[in-house]
Amino acid sequence: MNITGNFIGGKTSLSASNETIPIYDPATGKPVRELTQSTAEEVAKAIEVAHNAFDDWSRTSPLRRARIMFNFKALMEQHREELAELIVSEHGKVWSDALGELTRGLEVVEFACGIPHLIKGENSADVATGVDSYSLMQPLGVVAGITPFNFPAMVPLWMFPIALACGNTFVLKPPALDPSASVRMAELLTEAGLPDGVFNVIHCSNEDAEQLYTDPRIQAVSFVGSSGVAEHIYKTASAHGKRVQAFGAAKNHAIVMPDADLEATVNAIMGGAFGSAGERCMALPVVVAVGDDTADKLIAALTPLVKALRVGPGMQKGKDENEMGPVVSAAHQKKVLGYIDKGEQEGAKLVVDGRNIEVPGYAEGYYVGGTLFDNVTPDMVIWREEIFGPVLSIMRAPDYKSALQLVNSHEFGNGSAIFTSNGHTGRDFVREVQAGMVGVNVPVPVPMAFHSFGGWKRSVFGALNVHGPDGVRFYTRMKTATVRWPSGQKTVSEFSMPTLG
């Protein structure tokens, strides 16, 4: 069986530990390859290699770095289907969703190709007589990324293209559940012309990964995962003097107003709630319907669609493609099913039950059917906690203000949406909702790569968001120079605060 190795110093290698763990295909429940398990010393080696590569890479011109990003983009497009197959075989999402993940990740690469413009800095001539002032945006050094299972290509692509284009070197720890796309992208970066040691991929235990946010050679850490881990990494890395962006859990909500276009809204909710089996930090697991009549219409329209969801393996394409694949692992399947049990126990009305789904020929796959709850209330676990599965909850509110208060009361504030035909209501919602990313008649309001992605409240720890302008700011530090060149003028010593002009 093939073994997915580390990528250190420009080449793939297996760990000296000779230990491996299986990587499972969620569609079948059977192992498809193995993953090397690195030692603490090998993690330190990856950091050292990146540290040694930084000086030369940081002195490489931004134009040269941009050209490597252009080459990388072309190679990613050339190997798009190969990468999609890796994603589907290890994550389980359907084929078109894997291709979509790659497309959204490549948008960040395209943004990074503009790095000569993005790091130009500021310039002011003649801030005083014969004195000019300008700023430099310089790389930090070695930076680290720790990424989640739900987007094995896109989330790393949120991080490393901008970090590398800015002149940093990178150590990536991908998830053990679906790590192979990261290693393949590392190989493509080398083929694109990236010098050895600039980008490294290491597979290790969570304990050994702590080096990535405590080692003094690491200057910044990007993380996406659960809020508990995000907060731990933020506090630990910050205490070790590092810049941190740590993205945690989400519980996104959509308010549906009585004047919303029902058909368009229902179609949007279906994709937002059940796309990628709900394993998205920007999934739409909760709908707050304004008025019982609105809720009743939604339930009536959603019920047959949820029951009819085509659930099965993700590798089928074209007209045979399923709408929803399995969840990522047996453990996660058990967790999602436990939430459905809990919702029923706590008194929510289970309209469509996704438990005990049978996919012919795939009895050992990690499948959960589309699930729909009605009459969910704020005291229920399925309202409070992130399920990260194909479970949609309908809540009821008497009016817009009550619905907004319900949404804003939640501890997470990643994304939120409203469905309405009223421009005034939509505008008020954008201003008043306490979430970092907002959609108006858009169910999954993920910003384009030239904007920045990030939530509010316990969905994020750290001041700067990922990709877009914040991504460039995160991976650079500004230096401001105030310059006077001798011109024969007479000067005297000044002992008070200089006021220049």
120: nearest Cα among 57, 65, 62, 55: 62
- The CA distance from 362 to 334, in Å, is 17
DSSP per-residue letters across 159-183: HHHHHHHTT-EEEEE--SSS-HHHH
Global pTM value = 0.95
The better pLDDT of the pair 494, 156 is held by: 156
Q: Assign 3-class secondary structure to 343-360.
A: HHHCCCEEEECCCCCCCC
pLDDT digits (tens, 9 = 90+) for 203-242: 999 999 999 999 999 999 999 999 999 999 999 999 999 9
| pLDDT (0 to 100) of residue 490 | 63
| pLDDT (0 to 100) of residue 296 | 98
Mark out the alpha helices in 346-433 (DSSP H runs).
Answer: 381-384, 400-408, 423-432
| pLDDT (0 to 100) of residue 287 | 98
Mark out the alpha helices in 79-139 (DSSP H runs).
Answer: 80-91, 95-112, 115-118
- The CA distance from 90 to 279, in Å, is 14
Per-residue pLDDT band at 491 (split at 50, 70, 90): low
Question: Could you tell me the CA-to-CA distances from 243 to 86, 146, 172, 213, 219 in Å, in that order?
Answer: 32, 14, 16, 10, 6
- Pick the catalytic residue: 113, 166, 204, 281? 281
Q: Is 281 a catalytic residue?
A: yes
pLDDT digits (tens, 9 = 90+) for 87-129: 999 999 999 999 999 999 999 999 999 999 999 999 999 998 8
CA triple 112-435-163, angle to 5 deg: 20
